Amino acid sequence: MTFKAFIIGLLATFGIPWLLLVVVPYSTMRSLEPVKYEKNSELSGAFVPKRDGRIREGSKIFGQEGCALCHTQVIRPTYAGNDVHRGEWA
């Protein structure tokens, strides 16, 4: 491999991704204008989807009974131990 081929390969390796990830998105999005919105609009804030019947009741029971203490993917501390040996648990 010659030095010229190495430099061309190096420029292609870094130039093409830079072109596709920086230049093309910038050139297509530079003409966009900001969207104006009302600060006191009813559509502002967090969106919480409305849930029907059994889903809402199940969510309420899940919170009341403290099910999130065990049934989440939070990492348990090492002193809490392993749940595998607890036979009385379903």
pLDDT score at 74: 67
Q: Where are the domains of the chain?
A: 53-77
Q: How confident is the prediction along the chain (90 residues), in pLDDT tens digits per residue?
A: 899 999 999 999 999 999 999 999 999 999 999 888 777 766 666 666 777 888 888 888 887 887 777 777 666 666 766 655 555 554
Cβ atoms of 89 and 83 within 8 Å: the answer is yes
Estimate the share of the chain in helix, then strand, then coil, as percent rounded to the nearest 5.
50, 0, 50
Sign, CA dihedral 67-80-72-47, equals positive
Distance CA 30, CA 19 (A): 15
Question: What is the pTM for the complete model shown?
Answer: 0.38
